[in-house]
Amino acid sequence: MCGIIGIASNKPVSTNIINSLKKLEYRGYDSAGLATINENQINEKKCSGRVEYLEKILFKTPAMGNLGIGHVRWATHGVPNEANAHPHSSEIVSVVHNGIIENSKILKHELEKKGKIFKSQTDTEVITLLLTDELKIKTPLNAVHDTLIKLEGSFALGIIFKEYDDMIIGARRGSPLAVGYSKDENYIGSDSYALKSMTNKISYLDDGDICVLTKDKVEFYDLSKNKINKKVLTLSDDKNIADKGDYKNFMIKEIFEQPITAKNCINEYIDKSREDINFYNIPFDAKKINKIILIGCGTAYHSCLVAKYWFEEFTSIEVETDIASEFRYRKIRFNKNNLYIFVSQSGETADTSAALDLCKKNKVKTCSVVNVVESTIARNSDWVLPIHAGPEIGVASTKAFIGQMLLLYMFSLKMGYLRGDIEKEDYQKKISNLIKLPDILIECLKTEDKIQLVAKDFLNSKGSMFLGRGFSFPIALEGALKLKELSYLHAEGYPAGEMKHGPLALIENGLPVIVISPHDKYFHKTISNMQEVIARGGKILLITDSNDNVISENVRFTINLPYLEKSLSPFLSAMPLQLLAYHVALLKKRDIDKPRNLAKSVTVE
């Protein structure tokens, strides 16, 4: 979480810092700030709340200077107020930080014993005060290097110095940091997305690296202060980034983009003439994989859960799923014949990245399913499968979820085929059905009008429940996550068969219960569970592809989806659930693209 930008230029930088911070807001948006160096002074401006407030402050009191750093915050230590907003500056140095300094309490205590006074409750301010001491006797590079040695935890840092009005120092350990190059201007940023409007030439710092940049040159150093070279990458040209067009917000744009993103992803991987899935350079023999372990967080974890059903259905491989924050601390029995698949939209999620590092240390096969191909997780895994969804800006993941599921669906089918676990005819039939998916998603999104009516039922409800079995169980979990994330209403997802083991006690008159029941092998069982809920007063929204009217009796609303193929039902039922969360949040006047307390990229554990 938190976003960092730094610009060294031959012209004033505050406008470009603000523009970059707006792009970084998806990483955190509870406070914002910047600092520039001008006429031998550190000029610091900060506020709680959004970048737009910071922009207003600058409008009244501009921050001059050709060099500066900026920050958007997702609070870890200290409430989101102005004092805790970054940068944290002393007389001579100013620091922006992404990550957590785990030994900050000890360091703070030592500094206080020396008589140092803290202005904030943050962990970051210890860096400022340590640096301030070191700079009295050392060059900026040596001061930064020697300060970093004292820090435990994860960080990406941007630092400027009163006495050096042409120098920014950046450093990375555990949190991402990119460097951008341009004529008479160089940059640091938390990700390439923030730098994209200024440059397409990028390098990435590795853990332990320090960079020193001026407007004309960038130097890199390793942990031991040896000069090192970095690869310069040219970024792809994403034309449709960050423009919400006529849509009210990014989330609804991204929901309605899904048929197109699905089409792009399918075109990328499917050879329609041969009805085959093209995965090039698979770095292992599919027949020799004994077990697959799918790992992710939040929505990405839900796509892993859906994929478990697909891998079990199409292959003879044993499959496990794991939440990255649990996986990374468990006593895992690693096995070289296993394949560890990491799923992450951003490719920067700290827990997922740490779980991947653990696999790398244990020298097992890794693969990542990501949206951001330049991300840490993509760069660190043996094999990358990009979902090609384009930038996802809304904090609530929608089109990336569909992209992740698509990739995992194709992957499970291909594995089944390569291993001889499914017949060619079945394989090709599933591919030809998959090609129809984008058009079917368009039909599913036409449920929006009815969903708007359903949404009203949630306005005065205490909470809600989402039920499904088989493929629909993870979709129930995802539907509940979307609703709570966006509307701040309590929502729980359950396997429908679990209801009578406890959750049924929560059912009372008028409680909205969403039942996802496509016409698969679980259909009649789920419908029986639904009747048990109806008998106790639950208000049902049934999402199904069955046209059986008898089933709909006593059901408050039924959303009828088209039928495509049983194993593809998760894609279809995800559409009305995303729309439901969106419309409830809209009625409740929530900040849809930036729900409270959350951030798009979770780069702290």
Contact track, ligand AGP, 171-190, x by CB under 6 A: --------------------
Q: Does 376 bind ligand AGP (CB under 6 A)?
A: no
3-state secondary structure 2-53: CEEEEEEECCCCHHHHHHHHHHHHHHCCCEEEEEEEECCEEEEEEEECCHHH
Catalytic residue among 22, 46, 253, 600: 600
Distance CA 165, CA 16 (A): 17
Are residues 14 and 58 in contact, defined by beta-carbon separation less than 8 angstroms? yes
Report in angstroms the alpha-carbon separations of 583 from 351, 457, 503, 541: 31, 11, 26, 15
**Chosen residue from 159, 297, 356, 541 binding ligand AGP by CB under 6 A:** 297
Q: Does 385 bind ligand AGP (CB under 6 A)?
A: no
Q: Which stretch binds ligand AGP (CB under 6 A): 90-98, 175-183, 294-302, 575-583?
A: 294-302
Q: Does 485 bind ligand AGP (CB under 6 A)?
A: yes
For residues 175 and 349, which CB has a smaller minimum distance to ligand AGP in the complex? Answer: 349
**β-strands 3-9, 31-38: how paired?**
unpaired
Task: Tell me which residue of 486, 299, 310 sits closest to 402, measured CA to CA.
Answer: 299
Q: Which stretch binds ligand AGP (CB under 6 A): 293-301, 311-319, 414-422, 531-539?
A: 293-301
Q: Does 395 bind ligand AGP (CB under 6 A)?
A: yes
For residues 34 and 481, which CB has a smaller minimum distance to ligand AGP in the complex? Answer: 481
What letter represents residue 74's amino acid?
W
Q: What contacts 411, CB < 8 A, 6 or more positions away? A: 279, 307, 341, 369, 385
Q: Does 447 bind ligand AGP (CB under 6 A)?
A: no
Number of residue whose CB is nearest ligand AGP = 298
Q: Which stretch binds ligand AGP (CB under 6 A): 30-38, 342-350, 427-435, 456-464?
A: 342-350
**Chosen residue from 132, 147, 190, 346 binding ligand AGP by CB under 6 A:** 346
Q: Does 368 bind ligand AGP (CB under 6 A)?
A: no
Q: Please report how close the Cβ of residue 343 comes to ligand AGP at its closest, in angstroms.
A: 7
**Active site includes 265?**
no
Q: Does 602 bind ligand AGP (CB under 6 A)?
A: yes
Q: Please report how close the Cβ of residue 273 comes to ligand AGP at its closest, in angstroms.
A: 33
Q: What contacts 224, CB < 8 A, 6 or more positions away? A: none
Distance CA 47, CA 30 (A): 9
> Can you list the positions of beta strands (E) in 214-330?
218-221, 227-228, 233-234, 270-271, 276-277, 291-296, 318-323
Q: Does 352 bind ligand AGP (CB under 6 A)?
A: yes
Q: Does 128 bind ligand AGP (CB under 6 A)?
A: no
Are residues 484 and 585 in contact, defined by beta-carbon separation less than 8 angstroms? no
Q: Which stretch binds ligand AGP (CB under 6 A): 134-142, 326-334, 394-402, 437-445?
A: 394-402
For ligand AGP (CB under 6 A), the number of binding residues is 15
Q: Which stretch binds ligand AGP (CB under 6 A): 163-171, 298-306, 429-437, 523-531?
A: 298-306
Q: Does 397 bind ligand AGP (CB under 6 A)?
A: yes
Q: Does 392 bind ligand AGP (CB under 6 A)?
A: no
**Chosen residue from 31, 94, 344, 573 binding ligand AGP by CB under 6 A:** 344
**Active site includes 521?**
no
Q: What contacts 545, CB < 8 A, 6 or more positions away? A: 518, 519, 560, 561, 562, 563, 564, 569, 572
Q: Please report how close the Cβ of residue 127 comes to ligand AGP at its closest, in angstroms.
A: 26
Distance CA 286, CA 293 (A): 14
**Chosen residue from 14, 94, 175, 299 binding ligand AGP by CB under 6 A:** 299
- The two structure tokens encoding residue 260: 């197109």
For residues 396 and 440, which CB has a smaller minimum distance to ligand AGP in the complex? Answer: 396
Q: How many residues does the chain have?
A: 605
Q: Please report how close the Cβ of residue 191 comes to ligand AGP at its closest, in angstroms.
A: 11
3-state secondary structure 117-128: CCCCCCCCHHHH
**Chosen residue from 148, 389, 396, 437 binding ligand AGP by CB under 6 A:** 396
Q: Does 300 bind ligand AGP (CB under 6 A)?
A: yes
**Chosen residue from 31, 66, 349, 380 binding ligand AGP by CB under 6 A:** 349
Q: Does 261 bind ligand AGP (CB under 6 A)?
A: no
Catalytic residue among 2, 359, 367, 444: 2
- At residue 71, the 3 state secondary structure works out as strand
Q: Please report how close the Cβ of residue 596 comes to ligand AGP at its closest, in angstroms.
A: 12
For residues 342 and 427, which CB has a smaller minimum distance to ligand AGP in the complex? Answer: 342
Distance CA 351, CA 67 (A): 33
Distance CA 330, CA 355 (A): 10
Q: Please report how close the Cβ of residue 396 comes to ligand AGP at its closest, in angstroms.
A: 4
For residues 315 and 346, which CB has a smaller minimum distance to ligand AGP in the complex? Answer: 346
Q: Please report how close the Cβ of residue 504 comes to ligand AGP at its closest, in angstroms.
A: 27
Task: Tell me which residue of 297, 342, 298, 304 sits closest to 320, measured CA to CA.
Answer: 304
Q: Please report how close the Cβ of residue 150 comes to ligand AGP at its closest, in angstroms.
A: 30
Are residues 358 and 382 in contact, defined by beta-carbon separation less than 8 angstroms? no
**Within 13 Å and on the Cβ side, how many CA atoms surround 133?**
14
Report in angstroms the alpha-carbon separations of 309 from 109, 136, 423, 520: 52, 61, 18, 13
Distance CA 37, CA 44 (A): 9
Report in angstroms the alpha-carbon separations of 261 from 257, 313, 504: 6, 25, 38
**Chosen residue from 76, 345, 376, 526 binding ligand AGP by CB under 6 A:** 345
- The two structure tokens encoding residue 432: 């030809």
Residue ranges binding ligand AGP (CB under 6 A): 297-300, 344-346, 349, 352, 395-397, 485, 601-602
The catalytic residues are: 2, 600
